[in-house]
Amino acid sequence: MKPQETITGLYWTMPEVLLPEIPRHSVSITDFGAVEGGLADNTEAFRQAIEAVAGAGGGRVVIPAGIWLTGPLKLTSRLELHAQAGAVVRFSKRFEDYPLIASQFEGKPSIRCQSPLDAEGAEHLAITGKGVFDGGGEAWRPVKRWKMTEKQWERLRSSGGIVDEAEGMWWPTAAAMEGAGRVERLLGEGKREAADFLPCRDYLRPNLLSFRRCSRILLDGPTFQNSAAWNLHPWASEHITIRNVTVRNPWFGQNGDGLDLDSCRYAVVEGCSFDVGDDAICIKSGKDEAGRALGIPSEYISVKNCTVYHGHGGFVIGSEMSGGVRRVHVTDCTFMGTDIGLRFKSARGRGGVVEDIVIERIRMTDIAGEAISFHLFYEGVEGSGTARDERYPVTVETPVFRGISIEDVACDGAEKAFLVNGLAEMPLEGVTVRGFTAAARQGVICHHVKRLTLEDVRLYTVEGPLVKLHQSRDVELIRLGGEGGEPGGTMLSVSGDLSARIESRDPQTASSLRNVTATAGADVKAVQLS
């Protein structure tokens, strides 16, 4: 397999991402007695096929067309799992088939059920072909009532399982419903061994794919769907190529992320399709103290030519980013019907630095919330305080977002075009948005931002000013245009006593900003029109 070509970003050169080298040796699962049809348990046939390839020094395990039922698979080095067109690998829905192992989930070391596609410390690992890997997630996932119609909810209840006392959540078993409390008690007692958590197994849902500390990974061609939790989760791994894959989870799927690159470096994601129940393409690097202690940033990542049909966010950084995220290049992607388009999120307590992010040529339609958002302040949760302007001491727990360039973005339909909720003690800093056109109910709304440039931005809104700035400074508005609110209404609103040095350096922009309001301690002299 040929290596990837290098990619030059705005601040760095993307290193070569190495592909796996797999020997030509090949076996079929049918050589070891696998029976298609979806009724026979083929776990042993898969195990023997993988073992035979490993014993030969590596090679390809072929999964022919058909429906193949199996338990979780432990993948080894120099292995290519090749699912031919028409192959559907269905993973067991029996909880007892999934051993508890030490793993990672939501940014922290965790005891989890072994993933259906599981590897640790493996090198030269590939999953290819046009087949489908189905995680049987409906057996595991809790479901929130508000995400169902009444008819769907009644059908779900009648299928079995249990509903909590508030009748707001369906669980597959009582053990699953009680699992969160049991896990918390066990951790409080200092329990860390997998055997201690056996009573919680129903709750410890596996990700469909979990590769931990692996190198030279290729996912090319298959569909990965219906996971119990996240779909694809490479952790602390490097040289990762994910291309031409389809990732699917039900829109109501709890924790139904598409791809989570977590503390990974040297990765290319291209030509992929996502339709999921949570964030679609997500970059993470650990949560809070655990992430900072691990100290492995996600870096040198390229995402290009991907399409997201549904998800909480199209492309996302955070909120678990305590180890840092840097040198990420996202280009030529389309998001349709996601809750948010480009989504950056964190909170006090995380720490970590997100920087050197370049995003170009993004198209969005029918975004439910914000086309672009930076939520660094979660009101009233995760230790973020209860007042937006309240300042906390700057410590290692303070997240930093800086050095971000977003260019050539179009959005047809959103609640807000661009939203920033920064921290009073650590504003979002050094962000350039250039060539952005959006039709949205509201335009740009920024709280606590420093060194922001909006250039060639055209906004078509139905409510409020085009741009609202609160406690923001060193802001450049260059060729800002569009239509907002009532004809002749306010185009720019500035508030907060710290707002300063807000400048328009273009006559056309100065003319369009003929109406400026300053409130909540702001001085209209903070705005310079030239």
Catalytic residues: 278, 312
Question: How far apart, in whole angstroms, are the C-alpha atoms of residue 49 and residue 282?
Answer: 33
C-alpha closest to that of 257 among 202, 312, 339, 336:
312
Cis peptide before 319 (omega within 30 of 0): yes
Ordered DSSP codes for 493-525: EEESTT-EEEEE-SHHHHHHT--EEEETT--GG
Q: In what order do the strands lie in the sheet with 162-163?
A: 143-144, 169-171, 162-163
Distances (CA, A) of 112 to 186, 194, 205, 318, 477: 14, 8, 7, 21, 49
**What percent of the residues of the chain are helix, what percent strand, and what percent coil, each to the nearest 5?**
15, 45, 40
CA distances from 95 to 133, 194, 198, 202 (A): 18, 15, 11, 6
Which tokens hold the place of 313?
A: 């966010």
Measured in whole angstroms, how far is the alpha carbon of residue 135 from the centre of its chain?
A: 19
Q: Is 145 exposed, middle or buried (0-12, 13-18, 19+ CB in 10 A)?
A: middle
Q: What angle do CA 242, 214, 267 make, to 5 degrees?
A: 35
Q: Judge contact between 298 and 269, C-beta under 8 A.
A: no
- β-bridge mates for residue 296, sequence order: none
Are the beta carbons of 19 and 241 closer than 8 angstroms? yes
For 500, the token pair is 């300063």
Pick from 131, 125, 338, 307: nearest CA to 224: 131
CB-based burial, 229-249: b 16+ in 10 Å, e otherwise: bbbbbbbbbbbbbbbebbbbb
CA atoms within 13 A on the CB side of 251: 10
